[in-house]
Structure 1
Amino acid sequence: NLIPGIMADNYLHQSTDAITYLTVYMYRSNMDSIPNYPLPTGYSLQLYKDDVNDKQQWADITMAAGEFRSLEEGLHKFEEYFSKTKDKIPLTQRVHFLVNSDGKYIGTATAGIDEAHVEDYGSLDWISILPEYQGKKLAKPMVCAVLHKVAKYSNKCYLSSQTTSWRAINMYADLGFLPFIKTDGCKKAWQLLNKLCRRKFIDETEAIQSIKGKTVLITGGNTGIGYETAMELLQRGARVVLACRNVNKGYDAMNKLVAKTGSNQESIRVMECDLCSLDSVRAFAKMYNEEENRLDILICNAGLGWSPSVLTKDGFNAVMQANYLGHFLLTNLLIDKLKKCRPSRIINVSSELHKAVKSIDWSDALTQIHTSRWMGAYPLSKLFQILSTLKLKGDLPNTEGINIFALTPGWVSTSIQDPVEYGLGIFGLIFYYPLLYCLKFAFAKTAKTGAQTVIYCAVESKLEQSQDLYFENCAAAKVSSLAIDEVSIDRLWKVSCEAVGL
Structure 2
Amino acid sequence: MDIPDLNLFMMCASFNTTAARTMPPGFHIRTCRKNELDIWKDIHFDDPHTAAQYRDFMTKYFEDVYASKGDLFYETCLFVCNTEDEPIGTCFIWKAYNQVQTLHWFKVVKAYEGRGIGRALLSIVLQRLKKEDYPVYLHTQPSSFRAIKLYADFGFCLLSDPVIGGRQNDLEACLPILEQHMPEEDFRKLQVCKAPQAFLDAVRSSEVHEF
**TM-score relative to the length of structure 1:** 0.34
Query: 2:140 — aligned with what?
Result: 161
Closer/same/farther in 2, CA of residues 68 and 125 from structure 1, 3 Å limit: farther
Matched, 1:259 2:209: no
Tell me which of 14, 23, 26 is aligned to 2:10: 26
1:150 shift after superposition: 3.7
Whether the 8 Å contact between 1:28 and 1:178 is mirrored in structure 2 is yes
Whether the 8 Å contact between 1:64 and 1:130 is mirrored in structure 2 is yes
1:63 shift after superposition: 4.0
Closer/same/farther in 2, CA of residues 260 and 101 from structure 1, 3 Å limit: same
Matched, 1:175 2:159: no
Structure 2 counterpart SS, 1:139: helix
Matched, 1:133 2:117: no
Task: Considering fraction of residues, name the structure with more strand.
Answer: 2
Larger Rg: 1
Structure 2 runs not aligned, ≥5 long: 163-168, 205-211
Structure 2 counterpart SS, 1:123: strand
Tell me which of 190, 193, 206 is aligned to 2:175: 190
Closer/same/farther in 2, CA of residues 155 and 67 from structure 1, 3 Å limit: farther
The 1-side partners of 2:203 and 2:138 are apart by 20
Query: 2:188 — aligned with what?
Result: 200
Structure 2 counterpart SS, 1:200: helix
1:158 shift after superposition: 0.7
1:70 shift after superposition: 4.7
The 1-side partners of 2:203 and 2:126 are apart by 28
1:35 shift after superposition: 4.7
Deviations 1:374-405 (A, max 9, x none): xxxxxxxxxxxxxxxxxxxxxxxxxxxxxxxx
Deviations 1:324-363 (A, max 9, x none): xxxxxxxxxxxxxxxxxxxxxxxxxxxxxxxxxxxxxxxx
1:58 shift after superposition: 0.7
What pairs up with 1:67-86 in 2 under 5 angstroms? Answer: 69-84=53-68
What pairs up with 1:84-483 in 2 under 5 angstroms? Answer: 84=68, 90-116=72-98, 120-151=99-130, 154-183=133-162, 185-197=170-182, 198=184, 199-200=187-188, 204-205=191-192, 235=195, 258-262=197-201
Letter in 2 for 1:134: E
Query: 1:319 — aligned with what?
Result: none
The 1-side partners of 2:149 and 2:67 are apart by 31
Structure 1 counterpart SS, 2:128: helix
Closer/same/farther in 2, CA of residues 46 and 264 from structure 1, 3 Å limit: closer
Deviations 1:301-336 (A, max 9, x none): xxxxxxxxxxxxxxxxxxxxxxxxxxxxxxxxxxxx
The 2-side partners of 1:152 and 1:188 are apart by 33
Tell me which of 28, 32, 43 is aligned to 2:27: 43
The 1-side partners of 2:181 and 2:8 are apart by 14
Structure 2 counterpart SS, 1:182: coil
Closer/same/farther in 2, CA of residues 93 and 68 from structure 1, 3 Å limit: same
Structure 1 runs not aligned, ≥5 long: 1-15, 209-231, 236-256, 266-502
Whether the 8 Å contact between 1:122 and 1:153 is mirrored in structure 2 is no
The 1-side partners of 2:140 and 2:174 are apart by 11
Deviations 1:227-279 (A, max 9, x none): xxxxx6xx4xxxxxxxxxxxxxxxxxxxxx643244999xxxxxxxxxxxxxx
The 2-side partners of 1:264 and 1:129 are apart by 27
Q: Which moved more, 1:102-111 or 1:32-41?
A: 32-41
Whether the 8 Å contact between 1:47 and 1:95 is mirrored in structure 2 is yes
1:142 shift after superposition: 0.9
1:157 shift after superposition: 0.5
The 1-side partners of 2:60 and 2:130 are apart by 29
Letter in 1 for 2:188: K
Closer/same/farther in 2, CA of residues 97 and 32 from structure 1, 3 Å limit: same
Closer/same/farther in 2, CA of residues 68 and 178 from structure 1, 3 Å limit: farther
Deviations 1:102-121 (A, max 9, x none): 111111112111354xxx32
Query: 2:166 — aligned with what?
Result: none
**TM-score relative to the length of structure 2:** 0.75
1:93 shift after superposition: 3.6
Say which structure, 1 or 2, has more relative contact order (CA 8 Å, 6+ apart): 2
1:169 shift after superposition: 0.6
The 1-side partners of 2:21 and 2:125 are apart by 12
Closer/same/farther in 2, CA of residues 76 and 190 from structure 1, 3 Å limit: same
Closer/same/farther in 2, CA of residues 34 and 58 from structure 1, 3 Å limit: farther
Matched, 1:55 2:54: no
Letter in 2 for 1:200: R
Query: 1:365 — aligned with what?
Result: none
The 1-side partners of 2:45 and 2:107 are apart by 9
